[in-house]
Structure 1
Amino acid sequence: MLFTVYVLRVHGGDASFVAKYLPEGWFALADGSTMRGLAEHFPRPELLAPSVLRVQAFLELPLVLLAYVTVLRWLDGGLYRRLAGSWLVWAASVSYTFVFCTVEWDLHNPYTVDDIVIRVCSAVLTPLLLHWLARQEEDGSERSSFAQMLLFAVSVWALGHLVLTVYDTALLYNLAHLGGRLPGALVALCVLVAARVASARLPAGESGIALSSVAGGLRWALLLFFVPALAVRYGVNFGTPFIALAAAMVICLTAAIRALRETLAGAGTARIALWAAQGVTALAVGAVVGYAAVRMVTDKYYEAGLLRGAGTGFAAVVAICAVTDRWLARRAV
């Protein structure tokens, strides 16, 4: 909003002074009567010049890291506390900041040097914030029952929807998009609150081998992706999609192997064969459901489609694993 006030008052509503340095999709300014009324009565608008890219440069890293560790906290509170209090937070901060600065330099503009300095400052302060937040937490537990995993999937979708709303309307300065995004954001917020309240009230539940392997694989994937996540994400857009895909596949494969070693340890040959059948069935159903969810809507940002597809596909995998685990347990009795 302050950026919009600055552009309306100081640049006559024309954002081309900065938009010419950046790709399309930025600076859809809100210029309705309310916004213009605020701008007209705002004192000393020239003092809002730092709102041009500089505030965004400071807040982008904590937004990303806080969202990531929040998801991990929902899945496994103990792992979150250990990770957020470890040196990996500093490694992730350096990794993400390097990626952000590389993108800044690729989109070189008169604010680039300022932004890089600000991002370096954010890279120092953000891990300190995460360490402090981790110290406030009590040791948590794993959340891997059927109901908890479904609520986890719903929570991640809702959080991701809110993050994409903030990304579009605030980080890209597209405040004019807020009206169209607000209803969906409010729904996502209500869903998120309901899912977290329900999850907190659920008793600790047990899970079978297939569902435990899914939860364990996700736990390991979140841990292993923590440091290289942003490099993999931007590799898709900045000329190295095959390297990014290969890195993602290696991480996923490693996470799966580690999870299976933990989950299948001591299981007999027959149970492992049944687990394999469960896994193939669940992955096939999840892939079909996720693909259908992606194709249902054409999204402005491909991340929105991936989020919807991953959420629905994961929920389907969890459901298939839980149902077949329960069926096999009854057959064994």
Structure 2
Amino acid sequence: MTITAALVDATVAASVLAGLLLGPRLLRRPAPPEAGRTVAPEVLLVGVIALVYLNQLLCSAYLLRVHGGDVSFVTRYLPPGWFAQPDGNPLVRLVADQLPAPTLFGPTVLRVQAFLELPFVLLAYGTVLRRLSPALYRTVLGSGPLVWSAVLSYTVVFGAVEWGLPNPWTNQDLVIRAVSALLTAPLLTTLARRERGADRQPGAGGLLLFGASLWAIGQLVMVVYDTALLYNLGHLGARWPELLLALAVLTVTARWQPARPAGGPSVAALDAVLRRSLVLFLVPALAIRYSADFGTLLLAAGGALLVGALALWHRPVRDALLPLALGGAVGLAAAYLTVWLVIDVYYESALLRAMLALLVVMTLVCALADRLRSDERSVRTVS
């Protein structure tokens, strides 16, 4: 076993344990009171993405100006799928021609993104939490122990991957990632504790709206990873419509809130599963993801199943077990179809579609079950 695999596996085990120890306590704790004003994680996420793409533009200009567009000096240390450059792009050429002291832009290769990657992924996760419930976001990312555990887990995983792909900049990247961790954790907790939004108890419409937000955030993350964090700015020409669509959906879902009637027990149980899953998976999420490539997949699968089982171990969930099980079965069938019908370059794209299909189908089935139960009670009352 390599050092990278050992580190990733150890992080999976430790992260799952941390999530299971810290998460349930937060789920039982009432949301802290609203305090002050803050900046929504969506806004900061867009800001970080802008910095990521600015770095990519400067990086491509640097590569063109200093290395004549030859990226072999860095790709020799990396697996396939990195540094697809936008050859012949007029904007890149213009910036390259105007770069003052071009050799000073060397850190745009690998190092700047090492600083930005951690806040990018955690702000994306925070946005998901806030879209489901601002109070949940305030509770979860306002928890110092949970946030520091997540930051430590993610930083160790990113560092292990860096170590597994050794290059002349590895040591610098490790230091940069440590600095990023020290700055990101207090930023997240400060912002979350000042969140003023109230708790939400969405009905079926609210969960469907959340599903749209979840898709948009996931799509945004995947496009940014492909076109920027893997330095494939040359792919942006084909993927910018996806990027704009994701941003548009995020904007619309932030402004448009459907009527929120009190959901029935089945919809409420599904909402509880989502909340519990997001809280419990926060710390181990990245370690489990990277186990597919760098660790022991069986260990990651076991950890994910354990966390998922605890997310389901909840009284309201057990009370609505039949509609949840039926919705889950039909939803898994729909998810399988979405995966089978489309061939993806990255398996995360298929996973995102499957998650969305599962959530939509389960929401509709649970809403139907609640409606039938309500109609049955009405008939009994009339009788």
TM normalised by structure 2 equals 0.81
- The residue type paired with residue 39 of structure 1 is A
Counterpart of 2:79 in structure 1 is: 23
The residue type paired with residue 112 of structure 1 is T
1:57 equivalent to 2:102? Answer no
1:109 and 2:167 equivalent? Answer: yes
| Deviation of the 1:289 alpha carbon | 1.0
The correspondence of residues 84-103 of structure 1 with structure 2, limited to 5 A, is 84-87=141-144, 88-103=146-161
Corresponding position: 1:71 with 2:71: no
Residue identity over aligned pairs, in percent, reads: 47
Q: What SS does the corresponding residue of 2:202 show, helix, strand or coil?
A: coil
User: Where does structure 1 differ by over 6 angstroms across 4 or more consecutive aligned residues?
Assistant: none
1:306 to 342, 345, 351: 351
Specify the SS of the correspondent of 2:236. helix
Which aligned pairs between 1:206-245 and structure 2 lie closer than 5 A?
Answer: 206-245=262-301
Q: State the 1:144 CA deviation.
A: 2.4
How far off its partner does 1:188 sit? 2.0
Superposition pairs for residues 22-171 of structure 1, below 5 Å? Answer: 22-34=78-90, 35-87=92-144, 88-171=146-229
* Deviates further, 119-128 or 83-92: 83-92
Closer/same/farther in 2, CA of residues 143 and 304 from structure 1, 3 Å limit: farther
CA distance in 2 between partners of 1:172 and 1:217 (Å): 33
Which range moved further: 220-229 or 180-189? 180-189
Q: How far apart are the structure 1 equivalents of 2:294 and 2:82?
A: 18
Counterpart contact for 1:151–1:196, Cα < 8 Å = no
CA contact (8 A) 1:62 1:126 kept: yes
Deviations along 1:286-310, one digit per CA (max 9) or x if unpaired, are 0111111112221111111100111
Contact 1:143 1:149 in 2 (8 A): no
Q: CA 1:139/1:198 → structure 2, altered by over 3 Å: closer, same or farther?
A: closer
Q: Do 2:201 and 2:262's aligned partners in 1 also have CA atoms closer than 8 Å?
A: no
Alpha carbons 1:74, 1:143 under 8 Å: kept = no
Tell me which amino acid in the other structure corresponds to 1:318.
Answer: T
User: 1:262-277 alignment to 2 at 5 Å?
Assistant: 262=316, 272=319, 275-277=320-322
SS of residue in 2 equivalent to 1:157 = helix
- Return the alpha-carbon distance in structure 2 between the equivalents of residues 323 and 99 of structure 1: 42
Spell out, residue by residue over 1:236-290, the C-alpha distance to the aligned partner (whole angstroms, 9 max, x if none).
11131111011000000001003xx1455xxxxxxx4xx3332222111101111
CA distance 1:116–1:76, shift in 2 (3 Å):
same
Instruction: State the secondary structure of the residue aligned to 1:158.
Output: helix
The equivalent residue for 1:297 is 342
Q: How does 1:4-15 map to 2 (within 5 A)?
A: 4-15=60-71
Q: CA deviation at 1:192?
A: 2.1
Contact 1:28 1:174 (8 Å CA) reproduced: yes
Task: Give the secondary-structure state (helix, strand or coil) at the position aligned to 1:4.
Answer: helix
Alignment gaps of 5+ in structure 2? 1-56, 379-383
Contact 2:201 2:268 (C-alpha < 8 Å) held by counterparts: no
Q: Where does structure 1 lack aligned partners over 5 or more consecutive residues? A: 265-271
Match of 1:184 in 2: 242
Deviates more, 1:139-148 or 1:309-318: 139-148
Shift of 1:195: 1.9
How far apart are residue 150 of structure 1 and its match? 0.0
Q: Which residue of 2 aligns with 1:268?
A: none
Corresponding letter in the other structure for 2:293 = N
TM-score for the superposition, normalised by structure 1: 0.93
Distance 1:172 1:263 in 2: 40
CA gap 1:248/1:263 in 2 versus in 1, 3 angstroms = closer
CA distance in 1, matches of 2:264, 2:222: 34
Secondary structure of the residue that 2:78 maps to in structure 1?
Answer: coil
Helix, strand or coil: the match of 1:178? helix
Deviations 1:203-246 (A, max 9, x none): 44211111111110110111111111111111111131111011
CA contact (8 A) 1:159 1:188 kept: yes
Contact 2:270 2:317 in 1 (8 A): no
Q: Distance in 2 between matches of 1:329 and 1:100?
A: 50
1:281 and 2:326 are equivalent in the alignment: yes
1:196 Cα offset (Å): 2.1
Q: 1:94 to 1:293 in 2, by over 3 A?
A: same
SS of 1:21's equivalent in the other structure is coil
